[in-house]
Amino acid sequence: MSTQTTGESRYAALFRPGRIGRFETRNLIKYGACCVSNYNERDGTITERELARTRVIAATGCGMITNQGAYPDPRGEGKAYFRQVAIFDDRFLPQFEQIARAIHDGGAVAIQQILHAGRYGGIDLGYCVQPSIVPQTLPHFRPPREMSKEDIRQCVREHAEAAARAVRAGFDGTEVTSFMGYLLANFNSKFTNQRSDEYGGSIRNRGRFMRELIDAIKQATPEHPLVIRLNGNELMDQWGGNDEDECFELMAQAVERGVDMISVTVGWQEAPASSIGRDVAPGHWNYLAARAKRSFPDTLIAFGNRLPDPGMANECIAKREFDYWEVCRPLLADPEMVHKIRAGRGEEIRRCIGALNCLSRLFRDLPYTCTMNPALGHEVEPEYAITPAAVKKKVMVIGAGPAGMECAITAAKRGHAVTVFERGERIGGSLLGYAAHDLARPDDLLSVVRHYEIMAAKLGVELRFNTEANAKLMRSVLHQYDACVVAAGAGIDLEAYAGLPGRERLIDALEVARGRATPGKRVVVIGGGKIGLTLAESLRQGGADVTIIEPSKRIAGDVMPSFKWRHTAWVEELGIRTLLQSRVLRVDADSVTVVDAKGVETRLSADSVIAAAPRKSRQALFAEFEWMIDELHGCGDALIPRGLDAAIHEGYRLGARL
Amino acid sequence: MGVAADALLDLPAWQAILDREAGVFAELAPGASVGFVPRRVAGPDGALRSSAMPSVAPLEMLAWERDAGGMTACLRSYRGLADAGCDVLFFCERGALEAVLARAGSDALGEMKRRIRAGAILLMVLRTRGELRARGYEDFLESLGLPFMGACR
């Protein structure tokens, strides 16, 4: 009789055992060290917060787990993030030992990544080190210093010592990384390597640092596998970086020196094109891994950039396009993902939606968090754990948007009986409007809605649609509930236009988003934030002539930092006119009059004028329900208009403590 | 003559753009300086070489300089990154600046932004983030679609 689970049989390739060096892996899933957490001490010492997070990672069910990148030098030249882990001294060993032990206890092969950030390093210093002095293209990073040959030799030694230290701590192998534009990539790339000595010039010379690194680590840890992360495409070729063929030639050099696995990656942090964002279709870069596997059939190939779907990964492995699915962000979003697919509960997975909140926060020197996983980074805090409620309550939630549903399913998991009252006819709230007009990946946003639909059904959350929440409703259910959560979201504040001549002609952006109002062919959108932009882009793509009026200096002010550029690029590409530092003076039947900061008036022809700003919380219910229920709470945009991240996080936090 | 050098020299046209777009530069502090040089220049052997090197043979650099009266377009000598004498430097491929100049009367900075995105103009920053912020560059760079606080896409 077969002992395979439903998931093991459906994802047979993914759950096949594997081997790296002398170590067996129980499946072909590698937890990738995709993000530095920024949870640690400023001197590189690992904290309890990190250890708690690592215990969650260790329990993900992956066959191989790569611990996040540690910088190898005591000067901090390799340090990319304020609170990055260090591995340059034995004093750091006790915590690394705990991590290696936790990974082994979880049944995985333990790999420690060594990360020297090169061009993106020196975060605490006034400089970074590079093969050559090539100034930064992003102001965030430090001015460069050129490495001398002695610097290079020392750097190689420090990598080898770090690898030996990781193995002493109990790790089975190590990994060095060029992702995304770190020191190794800086030497490999002709964009940043303009040296005229034996480390620069020809591709063979540019690869010398990498070959020396591999040789030194192999010599220091001969019995332990070495993984190397190399670009299949830098996305820097238009700025003079390597093209794809050169990237693969460098991989060949790594293979020649006997690396045990190549992890194929895409892009640099400063690359002008998307590599892992929501606007890149899942599977877009798979061809790079397939090329690597064809080129180096005897070397293990790991891959996972913008490949969040286990079904697709399983298929790629079955077709021998790569050997290990390297996955990180999907496991940030749902640490139970592997267990869920193994148990045939794939529909319960919380998908990574590629919002890149994680990276957006790192660039603000903050610890990383995840839009979809509010507990991430808070594993050490019992308050974030979902524990059985001491007192089981009847909870009413007003609003089936992300804040309300997150609160509802979290509360239901704790044993509360939850009823959601929603004036619309389905789950999703304003997220449905965004998804209907999103140019990136509507399916990512809709996956959030689907998750809530599935979990509500599984957890027995009662849903009452087409039900307007008001004092009358409350009176009809008086004393039937112990707690009420107002998660009614936010609307467009049309009262802000009270003095505007022709204000009755304004169309509410949310009515357009929900398909209840249809604009004409000449549209003016007031407000260049995420609502206005999303609608403007969609309408423009549908053939309308669109102008955005924005009172501030820039559009996309409320957009996630890693996605701002995408909206501004779409506005350019689609030919949407933007009038900044401008406000509407009057709305007529076929035109809008606008005035700019200099007082210059412009008359724009328009058959539809959409108000997409400002937003106003729907807070009236707080006043109406006071004195009618024991506990009254609020969460999400109903408190302050923000976005998906705040909605989900607040909903969770409230659900976890009701 | 280096690649794209002709367009660099048309100071009246650049001044007209600076005057027209004065609002974009409003936050720049006196002394702020933006440079433009050809991305590649011909060496003694005629072969094209990158001008983004610490030291290169002198070539003309278009500079947008902020003084008390506003922005001024002028020409400076560029001898390499080590002594560029500006805060940020744009390296321009052939045709890029001509395209920007062609939109002088309408949307020159919009065109510049498009050329940056297309890879025909590359920004390099020669000051730290703090220095650039103190000199008022945040708005200017963001208006060109250049993320001041870092990006990962």
Which residues, 6 or more positions from A3, have their beta carbon under 8 angstroms from its beta carbon? none
Residue of B nearest to A274 (CA): B153
For chain A, give every residue range classified as CATH 3.40.50.720: 386-489+618-655
Give me Rg for the CA atoms of chain A: 27
Give the separation between CA A55 and CA A357, rounded to whole angstroms. 22
Q: Is the CB of A561 less than 8 angstroms away from the CB of B151?
A: yes
Q: Tell me which of A82, A123, A140 to substitute to probe the interface with B (most B C-beta atoms closer than 10 Å).
A: A140
Q: Is the CB of A363 less than 8 angstroms away from the CB of B125?
A: no
Give the separation between CA B93 and CA A240, rounded to whole angstroms. 11
Give the separation between CA B30 and CA A46, rounded to whole angstroms. 45
For chain A, give every residue range classified as CATH 3.20.20.70: 6-362
Three-state DSSP class for residue A570: helix
Phi, psi of B125 (to 5 degrees): -100, 135
Q: Tell me the chain B residues in contact with residue A136 when contact means C-beta distances shorter than 8 Å.
A: 124-125
Q: Is the CB of B128 less than 8 angstroms away from the CB of A135?
A: no
A180 in reach of chain B (CB within 8 A):
yes
DSSP per residue over A366-430, as a string? -----SS-TTTT-TT-GGGS----SS--EEEEE--SHHHHHHHHHHHHTT-EEEEE-SSSSTTTH
- Here the ipTM equals 0.90
Give the separation between CA A380 and CA A377, rounded to whole angstroms. 8
Q: Tell me the chain A residues in contact with residue B54 when contact means C-beta distances shorter than 8 Å.
A: 133
Higher pLDDT, A559 or A431: A431
Q: Is the pLDDT of residue B1 over 60?
A: no
Q: Is the pLDDT of residue A228 over 90?
A: yes
Q: Is the CB of B151 less than 8 angstroms away from the CB of A267?
A: no
Alpha-carbon distance A611 to nearest alpha carbon in chain B (angstroms): 24
Residue of B nearest to A138 (CA): B150
A140 in reach of chain B (CB within 8 A):
yes
Q: Tell me the chain A residues in contact with residue B118 when contact means C-beta distances shorter than 8 Å.
A: 238
Q: Is the CB of B126 less than 8 angstroms away from the CB of A564?
A: no
Which A residues, 289 through 308, put their C-beta within 8 Å of a C-beta on chain B? none
Strands B33-38 and B88-92: parallel
**Per-residue pLDDT tens for A395-410?**
999 999 999 999 999 9
Q: Is the CB of A138 less than 8 angstroms away from the CB of B146?
A: yes
Q: Is the CB of A572 less than 8 angstroms away from the CB of B123?
A: no
Point out the residue among A139, A362, A598 whose CB comes nearest to the CB of B148: A139
**Per-residue pLDDT tens for A81-121?**
999 999 999 999 999 999 999 999 999 999 999 999 999 99
Read off the pLDDT of each residue in A496-512 and give the average, rounded to a whole number.
Answer: 97
Strands A631-634 and B33-38: unpaired
Which superfamily is assigned to A386-489+618-655 in CATH?
A: NAD(P)-binding Rossmann-like Domain (3.40.50.720)
Q: Tell me which of A35, A136, A285 to substitute to probe the interface with B (most B C-beta atoms closer than 10 Å).
A: A136
Kindly report the pTM of this predicted structure.
Answer: 0.92
- pLDDT bin (cut points 50, 70, 90) of residue A2 is low
Which residues, 6 or more positions from A263, have their beta carbon under 8 angstroms from its beta carbon? A30, A32, A175, A177, A179, A227, A228, A229, A230, A301, A302, A303, A326
Comparing CA positions, the residue from B134, B96, B132 lying closest to residue B114 is: B96
Q: Tell me the chain A residues in contact with residue B93 when contact means C-beta distances shorter than 8 Å.
A: none
**Per-residue pLDDT tens for A116-136?**
999 999 999 989 999 999 999
B82 in reach of chain A (CB within 8 A):
yes
**What average pLDDT does the structure give for chain A?**
95
What is the residue type of A371?
T
Q: Is the pLDDT of residue A499 over 70?
A: yes
For chain A, give the percent of residues with pLDDT over 90. Answer: 88
CA A175 from centroid of its chain's CA atoms = 22
Give the separation between CA A454 and CA A444, rounded to whole angstroms. 16
Q: Tell me the chain A residues in contact with residue B126 when contact means C-beta distances shorter than 8 Å.
A: 135, 143
Q: Tell me the chain B residues in contact with residue A572 when contact means C-beta distances shorter than 8 Å.
A: 110, 113-114, 117, 145
Q: Is the CB of B153 less than 8 angstroms away from the CB of A561?
A: no
Of the given ranges (A56-60, A65-69, A304-308), which has the lowest mean pLDDT? A304-308
Q: Is the pLDDT of residue A254 over 60?
A: yes
For chain A, give the percent of residues with pLDDT over 70. Answer: 100
B22 in reach of chain A (CB within 8 A):
no
Residues facing residue A517 across a β-bridge: none
At the top level of CATH, the class of B5-127 is alpha beta
Q: Tell me the chain A residues in contact with residue B146 when contact means C-beta distances shorter than 8 Å.
A: 137-138
Q: Is the pLDDT of residue B5 over 60?
A: no
Residue of A nearest to B123 (CA): A137
- Quickly list H helices, A11-107: 48-58, 93-105
DSSP character at residue B73: E
Strands A601-605 and A591-596: antiparallel
Read off the pLDDT of each residue in A309-314 and give the average, rounded to a whole number.
Answer: 95
- pLDDT bin (cut points 50, 70, 90) of residue B151 is low
Q: Is the pLDDT of residue A276 over 90?
A: no
Q: Tell me, what's the pLDDT at B152?
A: 57
Could you tell me if A305 and A172 are in contact, meaning their C-beta atoms sit under 8 angstroms apart? Answer: no
Give the separation between CA A342 and CA A4, rounded to whole angstroms. 9
Which B residues, 31 through 50, put their C-beta within 8 Å of a C-beta on chain A? 50
Higher pLDDT, A362 or A172: A172
Give me Rg for the CA atoms of chain B: 15
Which superfamily is assigned to A6-362 in CATH?
A: Aldolase class I (3.20.20.70)
- pLDDT bin (cut points 50, 70, 90) of residue A11 is very high
Q: Tell me the chain B residues in contact with residue A552 when contact means C-beta distances shorter than 8 Å.
A: none
Give the separation between CA A644 and CA A490, rounded to whole angstroms. 12
Alpha-carbon distance B13 to nearest alpha carbon in chain A (angstroms): 23
Q: Is the pLDDT of residue B87 over 80?
A: yes
Give the separation between CA A488 and CA A68, rounded to whole angstroms. 39
Give the separation between CA A74 and CA A59, rounded to whole angstroms. 31
Residue of A nearest to B133 (CA): A139
Q: Tell me the chain A residues in contact with residue B123 when contact means C-beta distances shorter than 8 Å.
A: 137
Phi, psi of B120 (to 5 degrees): -85, -15
Phi, psi of A23 (to 5 degrees): -110, 130
Residue of A nearest to B55 (CA): A133
A572 in reach of chain B (CB within 8 A):
yes
Q: Tell me the chain A residues in contact with residue B139 when contact means C-beta distances shorter than 8 Å.
A: 553-554
Point out the residue among B119, B137, B152 whose CB comes nearest to the CB of A272: B119
Could you tell me if A469 and A381 are in contact, meaning their C-beta atoms sit under 8 angstroms apart? Answer: no
Give the separation between CA B11 and CA A476, rounded to whole angstroms. 76
Which superfamily is assigned to A492-615 in CATH?
A: FAD/NAD(P)-binding domain (3.50.50.60)
Q: Is the CB of A238 less than 8 angstroms away from the CB of B148?
A: no
Residue of B nearest to A181 (CA): B152
Q: Tell me, what's the pLDDT at A356?
A: 80
Phi, psi of A205 (to 5 degrees): -65, -40
**Per-residue pLDDT tens for A144-164?**
999 999 999 999 999 999 999
Q: Tell me which of A268, A328, A553 to substitute to probe the interface with B (most B C-beta atoms closer than 10 Å).
A: A553
